[in-house]
Amino acid sequence: MLNTEKFSSMLKNKRGDRGLRVIAQEIGGVSASTLSRIEQGNLPDVETFIRICKWLGVSTEEFTVKTDSEVQESSKKELLLTQLRADRTLPQETVLALAQMISLAYNNIK
Amino acid sequence: MDKPVSFKRGFKSDSEKKALLYRDQLNIKSTDPLPAMLLADFLNIRVAIPAEVPGLNQQMVSTLNKCNKWSALTMDCLSGIRLIIHNPSHSRARQESNIMHEIAHILCNHSTPDDHFNVEIPLRSYNSQQEKEAEWLGGCLQLPREALLWALKNNMKESEISDYYNASQVMVKFRINKTGIVHQLNSYKNFRFQ
């Protein structure tokens, strides 16, 4: 799982009192509204996550948290998901539910 | 900024051919609607909604059904089944478009790039080239040029085309604009009356 609290607070801290638009331009490829949603705890898409990590000067692993074994077991080194059609940011509870659903579908759909 | 997207040579005409080919293989007229579920079944792609995933508890089902920010996902199961799971809370037309869009990704052999880090959570990965290709092919599969031409020649309004093909009005407008069909029809009319 992503540690969204740590991610959004590092983003907010580095932003300081500068405007979201200024920071969005600095990061590149992301809108001010997306940044606002991320600061509120929503999860970004992969490209946005990578861009923000680069801007923060940290590795993506800084924010990954090992979750329960069921998700780990089924995904291992493989990318199970070929495509996900969704908004640029998603609420954390939706991402958690999607992760659970994907893991169960992977193992149980016959 | 993303680079402007251009399609591979022949991609657009191939997409139109696929739309007609699948109709032919399913004994559907070229001007008739092609239901996404029928095409998925023909291609051995399973389609499900969250409530149909074995073991997913009601709370998770409810969370996913209440959230309209996700549309659909495609994945491969341990059993070898290729699966599309889509959001049943979207309108019928949008569900149709979502499933057709995922089918288009599969037909285009799109996949997530290997150089993306492997995080064990489903984050959206946007590849603009792939998205444009799936958008184009998905649109063709739903509304082939031949079907649009037939509909417009028969004076169907956009709302009627939308209902008949179970496509959103946005999709109908997109296909009319991108195929240049109105221009062709106007030329046809001019030719007739000369």
- Here the ipTM equals 0.85
Cα–Cα distance, B13 to B167 (Å, whole number): 21
User: Residue B120 gets which letter from DSSP?
Assistant: S
Dihedral of the alpha carbons of A93, A97, A100, A101, in degrees to the nearest 10: -170
Within 8 A by CB and 6+ apart from A79, the residues are B112, B116, B118
pLDDT digits (tens, 9 = 90+) for A49-72: 989 999 999 988 888 776 555 445
Q: Does A22 touch chain B (CB under 8 A)?
A: no
Q: What pLDDT does B151 receive? A: 94
Answer yes or no: is pLDDT of A47 > 80: yes
Q: What pLDDT does B149 receive? A: 92
Distance from CA of A44 to the nearest CA of B (A): 7
Q: What pLDDT does A60 receive? A: 85
Give residue A25's pLDDT band: very low, low, confident or very high (50, 70, 90): very high
Cα–Cα distance, A4 to B99 (Å, whole number): 30
User: Which whole number is the average pLDDT over B132-140?
Assistant: 94
Picking from A80, A109, A110 by the largest number of B CB atoms within 10 A of its own CB, the best residue to mutate is A109
B97: left (phi over 0), alpha (psi -120 to 50) or beta: alpha
The H or E element spanning position B157 is none
For chains A and B, count residue pairs whose Cβ atoms are closer than 8 Å. 152
Answer yes or no: is pLDDT of B3 > 90: no
Q: What pLDDT does B118 receive? A: 42
Within 8 A by CB and 6+ apart from B171, the residues are B93, B97, B139, B142, B143, B162
Task: Flag if B105 and A83 touch (Cβ within 8 Å).
Answer: yes
Mean pLDDT of chain B: 88
In whole angstroms, how far apart are CA A35 and each of A21, A29, A55, B109, B112?
9, 11, 13, 32, 24
Q: What pLDDT does A68 receive? A: 56
Q: Which residues of B touch A1 (CB under 8 A)?
A: 120-121
Rg of the Cα atoms in chain A:
15
pLDDT digits (tens, 9 = 90+) for B56-115: 999 999 999 999 999 999 988 989 999 999 999 999 999 999 999 999 999 998 876 554
| pTM for this predicted structure | 0.83
Q: Does A52 touch chain B (CB under 8 A)?
A: no
Answer yes or no: is pLDDT of B141 > 90: yes
Q: What pLDDT does B115 receive? A: 44
Q: Which residues of B touch A53 (CB under 8 A)?
A: none
Distance from CA of B125 to the nearest CA of A (A): 5
C-alpha angle B135-B84-B81 in degrees, rounded to nearest 5:
130
Q: Are B48 and B83 in contact (CB under 8 A)?
A: yes
Least confident stretch, A54-58, B5-9, B44-48, B134-138: B5-9
Answer yes or no: is pLDDT of B194 > 80: no
Return the percentage of chain B with pLDDT > 90, whole number: 71
Q: Does A65 touch chain B (CB under 8 A)?
A: no
Give residue A77's pLDDT band: very low, low, confident or very high (50, 70, 90): very low
Q: Are B92 and B166 in contact (CB under 8 A)?
A: yes
Return the percentage of chain A with pLDDT > 90, whole number: 46
Answer yes or no: is pLDDT of A80 > 80: no
pLDDT digits (tens, 9 = 90+) for A26-40: 999 999 999 999 999
Q: Does A92 touch chain B (CB under 8 A)?
A: no
